[in-house]
Amino acid sequence: MTRTVYVNGDYLPETEATVSIFDRGFLMADAVYEVTSVLDGKLIDFEGHAVRLKRSLDELQMAEPCAKDELLEIHRKLVELNGIEEGLVYLQVTRGSDGDRDFAFPAADTKPTLVLFTQNKPGLADSPAARKGAKVISIEDIRWGRRDIKTTQLLYPSLGKMMAKAAGCDDAWMVEGGYVTEGTSNNAYFVKGNKIVTRPLSSDILHGITRKAVLRMAAEAQMVVEERLFTIDEAKEADEAFTTSASAFVMPVVEIDGTALGDGTPGPIAKRLREIYLDESRKAAL
């Protein structure tokens, strides 16, 4: 079945959607993106994604393509047109095109490119992967220094995913200066003695929308959270570990660099946080 997608004001069959070959998102990854989950046909944490999108645009001196209310309506219409009950809405904004290639930004009045599409993901909430838990490896973090901006510069994270697959694992945690930064597409945590440890916010990691919600919910559930730098060796000695992201929610981690955590199955805190997050997010969905 052909999806309906959105390109610069038009709802089109995916087979008819086009963007200029001179678009700076295509030529230079001069673009930012967001991914919003859909559960029960409703958008999860849309407000947080909209706020972060504006921050990314502002940091790159990129114009907003439309107002937030209009963006919400585009999301909702795509979900309706494509019959999405569980899945994702991908949004990308690029600096657009002035009809040629140049390192310098195009004229300030160049219209940004706005593209959205849906992905149908039945069983997104009741995920077999979450029941099993993920295995991760550690790799060196060699990305650029502004990971807090959600750009489409995802080549190294993609390579990291492939390194993990080659090792028979699910994902990679990146390490810089001896300390874990984050996963290839998620924020990283470990649990020791009922204390949740995760790296503090900075330009070194993405300011995860799911991270923010989960940490708030953990505090409300009287769980202890410590935001500090940590090493892979610390994480390997943990009782349990997990990651958070918009597309996987709370994902238990059961093995790091070949070392099983606990009994090698998803830990109780990760499982409980996943339950709380899904329950609360469904209640607040738009």
Residues annotated catalytic, as ranges: 150
Continuous segment of H or E residues that includes residue 284: helix 268-284
Distance between CA atoms of 80 and 90, rounded to whole angstroms?
A: 15
> Over the range 47-82, which residues count as b (16 or more CB within 10 Å of their CB) and which as e?
ebbbebbeebbeebebeebeeeeebbebbbebbeeb
Residue 193 DSSP symbol:
T
Distance between CA atoms of 251 and 262, rounded to whole angstroms?
A: 16
Residue type, 81: L
CA distances (Å), origin 114, targets 17, 220, 223, 272: 12, 37, 40, 37
**Hey, is 172 helix, strand or coil?**
strand
Tokens of 196: 């949740």
